[in-house]
Chains A and B, each alone.
Chain A
Amino acid sequence: MSKKPTAGPALHKVIMVGSGGVGKSALTLQFMYDEFVEDYEPTKADSYRKKVVLDGEEVQIDILDTAGQEDYAAIRDNYFRSGEGFLCVFSITDDESFQATQEFREQILRVKNDESIPFLLVGNKCDLNDKRKVPLNECQVRAQQWSVPYVETSAKTRENVDKVFFDLMREIRSRKTEDSKATSGRAKDRCKKRRLKCTLL
């Protein structure tokens, strides 16, 4: 285990999932480069790395922006497997994208086989509140069902953009320290603990 003490800042791997056109890339680009891209261009897969300061500690974040379209589902598994945290994005102006989050959640759990994987439900495009199709309480109910936090963002106005990434990184970090504490053989225990904690939140 202690073969090589990992040099350099900690690396957290975040994966963006959600239907096509909900603004995964827009959120990512806003977070990465402070830019908002108006025109829509479907993503196949893109990956970014950024150094950030998380609670006074320098860390690296790897963001993988995946394709919303079903066409690229085959390569998605390969990415999901190596992800440490997930931002599940939908558009509050598009009910279908909200429904689709259920499927994404299931797919992630299937690949990761872990109920308590760091995960945030993100309702994007909150600047378009007048065109809202998904009621707020419905989103909150689903988040509660999954025991995950729910955050509304706007890639356009940058509202809560940093928050979702940093919140997720914190979850990943605490998860990692927990993992290293709870050494082999107590995996089941840990899962239960985690779930309890989440529901409390």
Chain B
Amino acid sequence: MDFDSPEEKEFPGLYASEAIDSKSKKSKEESDFSEGDHDKHSKKDLLIGRRKDKKDKGKDRGYAALEGESSPEEELDTKSPSKSKKSKTFKFTSSKSKEKREKSRDKEKEPKTLDEEPPQKAKEKEREKEKDRHNDEKDHKKKDKERKEKDKKDKFEKKDKKDKKSKQLQQEDGSEVEEVLALGYPIFGVSISLATERSRCHDGIDLPLVVRDCIDFLQQEQSLKCDHIYKVEPIKTRLLHYKRLYNNRDNDASVDDIPTACSLLKLFLRELPEPVLTTDLVARFEEVASHPKVTDQQTELEQLLEQLPKCNRTLLSWILLHFDAVIQQERYNKLNAQSLAMLLSPTLQMSHRLMVVLLCHCTNLFPDVKLIKYVPPLTSSSPGLPDNPEDIKTELRKQDSLLTQIHSEMNAGFITKKREEQLWEVQRIITQLKRKLRSCEKKQEKSIDELEHATSAPPAPAPAPQSAVQPAEQKPPTTNQSTVSAAIVSEDTIDSKSVPTHTVTSLQQHDETNITTSPPPIEYTVDKQTGYLLLSKSNPQRDDLLRLQIEYDELMNWQNELKTRILAERNEIFRIKQLYEQELLKAQPVPTISQEQLPAEGDYERIIEHYTRENSLLEHKKQMLGMEIKEERRACIALQVELRMQEF
């Protein structure tokens, strides 16, 4: 069949109907052939494109015919005037001889591929429609980037020879609008910082999500022990499938087989525009690695690591610790430092020797790094929101980070239906979390208030009717270490004000109630000064009761003291918040001036790091001191109790 015949141009439906005949199985995808308009258009373009290709004998010709997915893009290319760019990107291709081989193969294959054309066209038509729908101006800007990325992908696909299945798969995915848009902002093939920024882990660890997911998966014990790890090649199409999912920030992309996870991680590292150790520093690392004295190596390595950008450092620490975990399981996976370095040093763009050295020192170099499994932010399909205030706060931080990312992406023009939906959803979850947190706080406040009420009511217990209440009131002292937590626990005891006292008291202090309430034979007097209940001298429990009462008083004092402090702190918080808001409203135009005075970027980062470290240290110290104070205070109370016991 000759493509140049005028017939087909004039009767666009021709191919379509043929397609239906020959490939009736796929009829679902081709359902809307009746609209010949688009078909004609794309077909024409394709034809023209092919003819041109034939004429220039361009290197890349024929791939369109081979690769179902790429054909629409090719078509795009032929439309746009900037053809030069396309050939430029093809400099990436690894071996020219391979291309030649492919070229000749293409010629043979051409008739065959032509038969396959119609279904693709149906897809193209669909895509074109979608494109029209989303024809933002931003789209155009992105196209160049997209094309580059596409071509790069094609490169990988080319290596793949039996592509038919994947083709279908890609076609299916290709129909998603998202892909077209997302490819302007890939994760693969960009700098570490950019990749991290574009696909964050929202729990505060600055790793690109793809790296985190792969490591998470591979850190599972059965993965580490599997002797396929880092040895077996994955199915190429799967690998590319996942690459695309991550590039598109598809939310539920998560690798589930070892070879793919390994290769995806390697692919990410290999495609980095700069080695993890940075072009500037890699030579110095190599120098250190050839240092004869092992003991000196570590300090020098530490110094060099300090100079790495933070996200490089994080990435390096994670992959090294992961590799270390792999070689720890040498017994099962037959990989030691030497052999693993053999496999992976080229990917990391470092020498075999350097990688072995790094592996040998990595646990000492990154003592504070722990490979924590990533728990992504909740989605609306998650079972439920956390209940514990601390968990809510953690989740809120994650969601906030996610929200910030969505906003920044949208501001950068990465706008799709899915994104917008996600934006609303995340916002909704945040609102729910905030409401929940607030209600938790309110509950706490309320219980503190109630406790205040409850405890301030009986300052000096009246003798007769209070005798029953007394033991109940003694419960708080035994549990009451921190007022706040106790407040929640004792909420039901507080109810004892309104509820008949016995029901509550009997729950916890059964024995004592029996002693104090039921039997008239027990004699007691009330101390005039303190209001304490005094049993007769002969009663063996006299001392216990007295001690408990005194202790109770002391603890109450402490509680009140703490409460006033909490109140003061709250007021302070409120005051600062207000101040902050005022400043926020004022301080808009100022930053331009202050920015000039800031130190250089690197210094700045180091300073931040320094202060974060210092702060966490201080925080720790503060906690220790707090504990000490608590202990001392408790000892004080014990002594005080003994002291006052002497008075009686």
Contacts and interface: CB of A to CB of B under 8 A. Distances in A.
Given A71-B585, A81-B420, A82-B420, A45 B427 contact: yes
B648 to A, nearest CB: 50
The binding surface of chain B is classed by DSSP as: helix
A175 B585 CA distance: 39
Contact of B410 (A62, A71, A78): A78
Given A71-B584, A71-B585, A78 B411 contact: yes
B542 interface: no
Contact of A47 (B410, B415, B424, B581): B424
A179 to B, nearest CB: 13
Contacts of A75: 407
Given A71-B584, A78-B410, A62 B420 contact: no
Given A42-B581, A71-B584, A71-B585, A47 B411 contact: no
B423 interface: yes
Contact of B427 (A46, A77, A81): A46
Interface residues of B, number: 19
Contact of A79 (B423, B431, B434): B423
B182 interface: no
B430 interface: yes
A13 B428 CA distance: 12
A48 B420 contact: no
A66 B588 CA distance: 20
A82 B419 CA distance: 10
Contacts of A79: 423
A46 B423 contact: no
A46 B434 contact: yes
Interface string B419-437: 0110111011011001000
Contacts of A46: 427, 430-431, 434
Interface in B398-455: 406-407, 410-411, 415, 420-421, 423-425, 427-428, 430-431, 434
A51 B434 CA distance: 21
A74 B411 contact: yes
A13 B407 contact: no
A131 interface: no
Contacts of B411: 74, 77-78
Contacts of B588: 71
Given A42-B581, A74-B411, A81-B415, A13 B430 contact: no
B428 A47 contact: yes
A45 B584 CA distance: 17
B424 A64 contact: yes
A176 interface: no
A106 to B, nearest CB: 20
Contacts of B424: 13, 47, 62, 64, 82
Interface of A: 13, 42, 45-49, 62, 64, 69, 71, 74-75, 77-79, 81-82
